[in-house]
A and B are shown apart, each in its own frame.
Chain A
Amino acid sequence: MLFFSFFKTLVDHEVTVELKNDISLRGTLRSVDQFLNIKLDGVSVVEEDRWPHLASVKNVFIRGSVVRYVHLPGAAVDTALLEDATRRGKWCRGLF
Chain B
Amino acid sequence: MSFFGFDATLPRDRGHPTNAPGFGQAPDPFAGISRGLEDNDDDAIDFEETYDGLGDNLDETDDAFNDDTFGGGDGSQKPVGKDFDFFGQTAKVSDAINEEQLLFNRQQPPPKSVSAIAASPRETQAKPLKTGYEKYKQPGNIPDLQVNESLWGAPSKKTTATAKVGEEEITHQRHHSASRKKMMSLEEVEAAMRSKKPVAKVAPRQPPTAAAPAQQQLPSAIPLQQQVPAPPAQQPQMIPQQQLPQGPRFPQPSRTEMPVYAAQQPPQAVHRQSVTPTHTGASRPPPPPRQILQNPNRQQQHSGPRNLPYQQPAPSVIPGGLPPHASLAPLPQQLLHLSEEERTAFLIEDAKRAKRNHKIHLLSKDNGLMTPQDKNFITRIQLQQLVTATGNPNESGTDAALMEDFYYQVHNQIRGGPRQNPHQPLNSFAQTYLFRTDGTPGGVAGRRQHRGGDNHMQRMEQQVQRAVEASKARPKNNQLVLEGSLGKISFSNAKTPKPLLNFKRTEISNDPNRPHHAGRGPQSAFSAGDRKSVLHAIEQAYDTLMQIEDHERYMPLLTDGSDPTVVQRHMEWKQKMQNLNKKLWEELKIMDPIVPDAASPHPFIAFLSYAKGKKAIPRIFRHIDQDQRVIILTMIVVFLGSLDVVRFAQLQPGELQLPTAVREEVELFSQAVMPSLFAYVNEAPLNIVVGLLGIIWERVNVQAIAKTKIGLGILTMFFSRGELIRQAGDGDEREWESWSAMYNRIFDTLESCLGQIFPPSINSAEDMYVWQFLAALGVGATPEQQQRLVMAVKDRVMETVNQSKTLPPEMGTQKLGNVNLFMRSIGLDVGLLG
A23 to chain B, nearest CB (A): 26
Within 8 A of B (CB), among A59-96: 78, 80-85, 87-95
Report if B773 contacts A (CB, 8 A).
no
Question: Mask for B402-422, Cβ within 8 A of A = 1, else 0?
Answer: 111111111110110110000
Q: Please tell me if the beta carbons of B612 and A81 are within 8 angstroms of each other in the complex.
A: no
- Find out whether the CB atom of A84 lies under 8 angstroms from the CB atom of B403: no
Segment of B179-187, B258-266, B494-502 engaged in the interface with chain A? B494-502
Q: How far is the CA of A84 from the CA of B408 in the complex (A)?
A: 12
A8-B408 CB under 8 A given contacts A34-B497, A87-B546: yes
Contacting pair B542 A5 (CB below 8 A): no
A85 to B407, CA, bound (A): 5
Check if B799 is an interface residue, CB within 8 A of chain A. no
Give the residue of B412, B433, B436, B508 whose beta carbon is less than 8 angstroms from that of A9: B412
Count how many pairs of residues, one from A and one from B, have CB atoms less than 8 Å apart in the complex. Answer: 74
Query: Is B543 interfacial (CB-CB < 8 Å)?
Result: yes
CB <8 Å contact, B543 and A91 = yes
Contact of A5 with B406 in the complex, beta carbons under 8 Å: yes
CB distance from A4 to the nearest CB of B (A): 8
**Contact B408 A80, beta carbon cutoff 8 Å:** no
Complex CA gap A81/B429 in Å reads 10
A90 to B495, CA, bound (A): 19
In the complex, how many angstroms separate the beta carbon of A61 from the nearest chain B beta carbon? 16
Do B612 and A35 touch (CB < 8 A)? no
Q: Which residues on A sit within 8 Å (CB–CB) of B405?
A: 1, 4-5, 8
Q: Nearest Cβ distance between residue A30 and chain B, in whole angstroms?
A: 12
Contact with B along A31-64 (1 / 0, CB 8 A): 0011100000000000000000000000000000
**Interface residue A19 (Cβ < 8 Å from any Cβ of B):** no
Instruction: List residues of A (4-20) whose CB comes within 8 Å of B's CBs.
Output: 4-6, 8-9, 11-12
| B495: nearest chain-A partner, CB-CB | A34
**Min CB–CB distance B623 → chain A (angstroms):** 15
| B727 interfacial contact with A, CB 8 Å | no
Let me know if B68 is at the binding interface, CB within 8 A. no
- Which residues, 414 to 459 on B, are CB-close (under 8 Å) to A? 414-415, 417-418, 433, 436-437
When the two chains form their complex, are residues B406 and A35 in contact, meaning their CB atoms are under 8 A apart?
no
Among A35, A78, A88, contact of B403 (Cβ-Cβ < 8 Å): A88
Q: CA separation between A50 and B580, bound complex, in Å?
A: 58
Please give me the residue from chain A that is nearest to B417 by CB atom: A9
CA distance A91 to B403 in the complex (A): 9
B539 within 8 A of A: yes
Beyond A33-B494, A80-B436, A81-B433, whether A2 also contacts B542 by CB under 8 A is no
Query: Distance in Å from the Cβ of A8 to the closest Cβ of chain B?
Result: 5
Pick from B406, B436, B437 the residue with the most CB of A within 10 Å. B406
Chain B residues with Cβ below 8 Å from A35 are 497
Q: For the complex, is B615 an interface residue (Cβ under 8 Å from A)?
A: yes
Most buried by A among B405, B410, B411, B436: B411
In the complex, A23 Cα to B437 Cα: how many Å? Answer: 36
A35 to chain B, nearest CB (A): 7
Q: Report the nearest A residue to B404, measured CB to CB.
A: A1
Tell me the smallest distance from the CB of B405 to a CB of chain A, in Å: 5
Partner of B501, one of A6, A8, A92, A95: A95
Bound complex: CA A80 to CA B546 (Å) = 12
Distance (Å) between the CB of A69 and the closest chain B CB? 19
Whether the Cβ atoms of A78 and B542 lie closer than 8 Å is no
A90 proximity list for chain B (CB < 8 A): 508
* Chain A residues with CB under 8 A of B476: none
- Return the contact of B410 from the options A33, A81, A92, A94 (Cβ within 8 A): A81
Candidates B406, B417, B495; contact of A84 at CB < 8 Å: B406
Binary interface encoding of chain B residues 524-561 relative to chain A, with 1 for a CB under 8 A from any of its CBs, else 0: 00000000000000010011001000000000000000
Nearest-CB distance from B397 to chain A (Å)? Answer: 14
Give Cα distance in the complex from A92 to B547, angstroms: 12
Q: Is the CB of B433 within 8 A of A78?
A: yes
- What's the tally of chain A residues with a CB closer than 8 Å to chain B? 28
**CB atoms of A81 and B501 under 8 A apart:** no
Name the distance in Å between B619's Cβ and chain A's nearest Cβ. Answer: 9
How far is B417's CA from A11's CA once the two chains are assembled, in angstroms? Answer: 9
* Contact yes or no, B543 A5, CB < 8 A: no
Report the Cα distance A84→B546, complex, angstroms.
Answer: 8
Alpha-carbon distance between A33 and B405 when the two chains are bound, in angstroms = 13
Q: Which residues of B contact A87 (CB under 8 A)?
A: 539, 542-543, 546
Which residues of the other chain, B, contact A82 by a CB distance below 8 angstroms? 407
Decide: A94 and B406 in contact? CB cutoff 8 A.
Answer: no
Query: CA A1 – CA B406 in complex, angstroms?
Result: 9
Max chain A Cβ within 10 angstroms of own Cβ: one of B412, B436, B497, B615? B497
Instruction: Please give, as numbers and ranges, the residues of chain A lying within 8 Å of B375 by CB-CB distance.
Output: none
Cα–Cα, bound, A84→B437 (Å): 14
Compute how far the CA of A53 lies from the CA of B802 in the bound complex, rounded to whole angstroms: 61
**Would A89 and B508 count as touching, CB distance under 8 A?**
no
Beta-carbon nearest neighbor of B436 in chain A: A80
Q: Which residues of B contact A34 (CB under 8 A)?
A: 494-495, 497
Q: Which single residue of chain B is at the shortest CB-CB distance from A83?
A: B612
- Any A CB within 8 A of the CB of B112: no
Contacts of B407 in A (CB 8 A): 2, 5-6, 9, 78, 81-82, 85
At the interface, yes or no: B337 with Cβ under 8 Å from chain A? no
A62 to chain B, nearest CB (A): 17
Q: How far is the CB of A22 from chain B (nearest CB, A)?
A: 26
B405 to A, closest residue via Cβ: A5
Residue of B nearest to A7 (CB): B408
Give the residue name and chain of the A residue nearest to B612 (CB).
Answer: A83
A9 to B508, CA, bound (A): 29
Q: Which residues of B contact A78 (CB under 8 A)?
A: 407, 411, 414-415, 433, 437
Q: Which of A9, A33, A89, A91 contacts B408 (CB 8 A)?
A: A9
Q: Which residues of B contact A89 (CB under 8 A)?
A: 406
A45 and B405 CA atoms in complex are apart in Å by 31
| Least Cβ–Cβ distance between B412 and chain A, in angstroms | 7
A26 CA to B38 CA in the complex, in Å? 102
- Bound-complex Cα distance A84 to B410 (A): 11
Q: For the complex, what is the distance from the CA of A11 to the CA of B420, rounded to whole Å?
A: 13
| Contact across chains for B543 and A9 when beta carbons are under 8 A apart | no
CB-defined contacts of A33 to chain B, threshold 8 Å? 494
CB of B137 closer than 8 Å to a CB of A: no
In the assembled complex, which residues on chain B have CB atoms less than 8 Å from the CB atom of A4? Answer: 405, 408
Contact (Cβ within 8 A) A5 B436: no
- CB pair A92–B433 under 8 Å, yes or no, is no
Contact partner of B508 (CB less than 8 A), chosen from A5, A8, A85, A91, is A91
Residue pair A80, B615 in contact (C-beta under 8 Å): yes
Interface flag for B505 (CB, 8 Å): yes
**Is A81's CB under 8 angstroms from B495's CB?**
no
CB interface residues, B 478-531, toward A, < 8 Å:
494-495, 497, 499, 501, 505, 508
Report the nearest A residue to B504, measured CB to CB. A94
- Whether B414 lies near A5 (C-beta < 8 A) is no
With A87-B543, A87-B546, A95-B501 as contacts: A9 and B495 at CB distance below 8 Å = no
Specify the chain A residue showing the minimal Cβ separation from B497.
A34
Is the beta-carbon distance between A11 and B418 smaller than 8 angstroms?
yes
**Of the residues B406, B414, B539, B612, contact of A85 by C-beta under 8 Å:** B406
B581 to chain A, nearest CB (A): 19
Distance in Å from the Cβ of A43 to the closest Cβ of chain B? 21
Chain A residues with CB under 8 A of B494: 33-34
Roughly how many angstroms separate A8 CA and B404 CA in the complex, as a whole number?
13
Residues A84 and B542 in contact, CB atoms below 8 Å apart:
yes
Complex contacts, B433 vs chain A, CB 8 Å = 78, 80-81, 84
The 7 closest A-B pairs by CB, nearest first: A85-B407, A5-B408, A5-B407, A9-B411, A85-B406, A1-B404, A8-B408
6 new A-B contacts at CB < 8 Å, known A2-B406, A4-B405, A80-B615: A11-B418, A35-B497, A81-B410, A85-B407, A87-B542, A87-B543
Task: List 15 A-B residue pairs with CB atoms under 8 Å apart, sorted by A's residue number.
Answer: A4-B405, A9-B408, A9-B411, A9-B415, A11-B418, A34-B497, A78-B437, A80-B437, A81-B410, A81-B414, A83-B612, A84-B542, A85-B407, A88-B403, A90-B508
